[in-house]
């Protein structure tokens, strides 16, 4: 075992658990909310609000990512982003993440280091500390992240607060990751802007707390597709939701890709997952924060989620085990 820098031929087996931990944690900066970072049995993180918002997600090789499609750095960033989007969807500001890496023993140490570089880069972009974690052996690569957040004295924004008469709004990109997946699935690697949207999302982290301050009644991270996730919100709130397609922006780049692939870009916008935009409901009189766009309305229960007043006849989003 060695605690020095990894060579190009090192694997996680030859470097060893503690050598790898030393490599990926050394020199990482921490925000003020980290009171005690990596190196002990557990981390200590400040909770200024007195409450902690917590979420976890795992990314599994072959299910959530492919290393022939994405670099390890992309995967590391994505693993953090999907969790921080959940924190934002509660109206909270993320404070720290804990990371568990599982991988085969012959995984190049450089791959593990690049995964953690991506983790650190996305955490730093959000002002969040990587405060600890674990490393274990597995049959394929799994990167699991737990994120913590602070509500800043506000109430959390659940999925269950929408009421008839509220407006429905979104913030962030929709359909880009689905378009990127379609491009990669055809064996192409461009346009890069679309492909990279699938490799690593760009959630609007600050927009969740901003929506909470503006009076959002319910909110959700769009991970499985707009219609599917609005369906979760509608079920939790016991309401119906109608989405207006004339309010949905379909980017010109998605139109170009859809034309090239013979696909409907509006379907990507309505049902594509992994963009990690935010969707929320607001009272009709609310002033929406910058970046939020009204796309529909909350209606009476028993209507489900409709598109332009009618049920959507195609698959509405991603489902595990389907």
The confidence score (pLDDT) of residue 2 equals 39
The residue with greater pLDDT, 195 or 318, is 195
25 has a pLDDT exceeding 80? no
Give residue 211's pLDDT band: very low, low, confident or very high (50, 70, 90): very high
Kindly state the tokens that stand for 57.
């997600």
Give residue 52's pLDDT band: very low, low, confident or very high (50, 70, 90): very high
95 has a pLDDT exceeding 50? yes
| Pairing of β 93-103 and β 53-60 | unpaired
Contact 235, 137 (CB under 8 A): no
d(CA 93, CA 85): 10
State yes or no: 150 annotated in a binding site: no
Give residue 40's pLDDT band: very low, low, confident or very high (50, 70, 90): confident
The residue-averaged pLDDT of 270-275 equals 96
33 has a pLDDT exceeding 80? yes
Angle CA 92–94–98, to nearest 5? 135
Q: How many CA atoms lie within 13 A of 305 on its CB side?
A: 26
State yes or no: 74 annotated in a binding site: no
State yes or no: 223 annotated in a binding site: yes
How are strands ordered across the β-sheet holding 93-103?
Answer: 53-60, 142-150, 93-103, 129-137
Give residue 1's pLDDT band: very low, low, confident or very high (50, 70, 90): very low
Angle between helices 192-199 and 252-261 (to 10 degrees): 100
The confidence score (pLDDT) of residue 183 equals 97
Residue-wise pLDDT tens digits, 289-315:
999 999 999 999 988 999 999 999 887
- DSSP conformation letters of 140-200: S-EEEEEEEEE-TTSPP--STT--TT-EEEEES--SHHHHHHHHHHTT---SHHHHHHHHS
Give residue 28's pLDDT band: very low, low, confident or very high (50, 70, 90): confident
The confidence score (pLDDT) of residue 10 equals 82
Residue-wise pLDDT tens digits, 103-151:
999 999 999 999 999 999 999 999 999 999 999 999 999 999 999 999 9
The confidence score (pLDDT) of residue 124 equals 95
The confidence score (pLDDT) of residue 137 equals 93
State yes or no: 320 annotated in a binding site: no
The confidence score (pLDDT) of residue 43 equals 83
| Pairing of β 167-171 and β 277-282 | antiparallel
Q: Which residues of 271-296 are buried (b: 16+ CB within 10 A; e: fewer)?
A: bbbbbbbbbbbbeeebebbeebeebb
Taking alpha carbons only, the member of 33, 32, 1 closest to residue 19 is 1
Give residue 3's pLDDT band: very low, low, confident or very high (50, 70, 90): very low
Taking alpha carbons only, the member of 108, 121, 103, 222 closest to residue 168 is 222
State yes or no: 268 annotated in a binding site: no
State yes or no: 224 annotated in a binding site: yes
In order of their start, the domains of the chain are: 12-150 (3.30.1330.10), 167-311 (3.90.650.10)
d(CA 229, CA 231): 5
The residue-averaged pLDDT of 265-279 equals 97
6 has a pLDDT exceeding 60? no
State yes or no: 271 annotated in a binding site: no
d(CA 271, CA 283): 25
State yes or no: 28 annotated in a binding site: no
Taking alpha carbons only, the member of 178, 196, 181, 210 closest to residue 77 is 196
The residue-averaged pLDDT of 249-267 equals 97
State yes or no: 294 annotated in a binding site: no
The residue with greater pLDDT, 17 or 265, is 265
d(CA 227, CA 307): 9
The residue with greater pLDDT, 9 or 137, is 137
The confidence score (pLDDT) of residue 209 equals 98
249 has a pLDDT exceeding 90? yes
205 has a pLDDT exceeding 90? yes
State yes or no: 122 annotated in a binding site: no
The confidence score (pLDDT) of residue 37 equals 81
State yes or no: 77 annotated in a binding site: no
State yes or no: 296 annotated in a binding site: no
Q: What are phi and psi of 159, to 5 degrees?
A: -80, -15
State yes or no: 55 annotated in a binding site: yes
77 has a pLDDT exceeding 80? yes
State yes or no: 56 annotated in a binding site: yes
The confidence score (pLDDT) of residue 315 equals 75
152 has a pLDDT exceeding 90? yes
CB < 8 Å & 24+ apart, contacts of 232-235 = 232/159, 233/159, 233/162, 233/279, 233/281, 234/162, 234/298, 234/304, 234/305
Cβ of 155: how many Cβ atoms within 10 Å?
11
**Mean pLDDT, the chain, whole residue set:** 92
321 has a pLDDT exceeding 60? no
Give whole-number Cα distances, 210 to 155, 174, 257, 288, 290, in Å.
13, 19, 33, 9, 9
């Amino acid at each position: 075992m060695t605690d020095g820098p990894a060579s190009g031929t090192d694997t996680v087996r030859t470097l060893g658990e503690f050598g790898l931990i030393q490599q990926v944690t050394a020199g990482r900066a921490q925000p003020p909310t980290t009171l005690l970072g990596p190196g002990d049995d557990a981390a200590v993180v400040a909770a200024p609000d007195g409450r902690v918002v917590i979420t976890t997600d795992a990314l599994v090789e072959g299910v959530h990512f492919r290393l022939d499609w994405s670099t390890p750095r992309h995967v590391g960033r994505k693993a953090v982003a999907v969790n921080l989007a959940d924190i934002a969807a509660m109206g909270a500001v993320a404070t720290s993440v804990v990371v568990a890496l599982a991988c085969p023993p012959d995984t190049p140490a450089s791959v593990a280091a690049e995964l953690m570089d991506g983790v650190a880069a996305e955490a730093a972009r959000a002002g969040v500390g990587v405060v600890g974690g674990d490393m274990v052996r597995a049959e394929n690569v799994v990167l699991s992240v737990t994120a913590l957040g602070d509500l800043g004295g506000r109430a959390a924004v659940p999925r269950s607060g929408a009421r008839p008469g509220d407006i429905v709004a979104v913030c962030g990109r929709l359909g880009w990751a689905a378009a990127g997946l379609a491009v990669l699935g055809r064996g192409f690697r461009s346009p890069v802007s679309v492909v990279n949207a699938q490799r690593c999302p760009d959630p609007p982290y600050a927009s969740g707390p901003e929506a909470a301050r503006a009076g959002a009644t319910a909110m959700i991270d769009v991970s499985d597709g707009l219609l599917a996730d609005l369906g979760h919100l509608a079920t939790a709130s016991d309401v119906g939701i109608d989405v207006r397609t004339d309010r949905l922006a379909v980017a010109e780049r998605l139109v170009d890709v859809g034309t090239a692939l013979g696909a409907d870009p509006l379907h990507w916008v309505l049902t594509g997952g992994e963009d990690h935009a935010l969707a929320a409901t607001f009272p009709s009189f609310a002033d929406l924060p910058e970046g939020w766009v009204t796309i529909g309305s909350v209606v009476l229960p028993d209507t489900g989620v409709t598109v332009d007043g009618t049920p959507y006849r195609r698959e509405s989003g991603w489902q595990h085990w389907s």
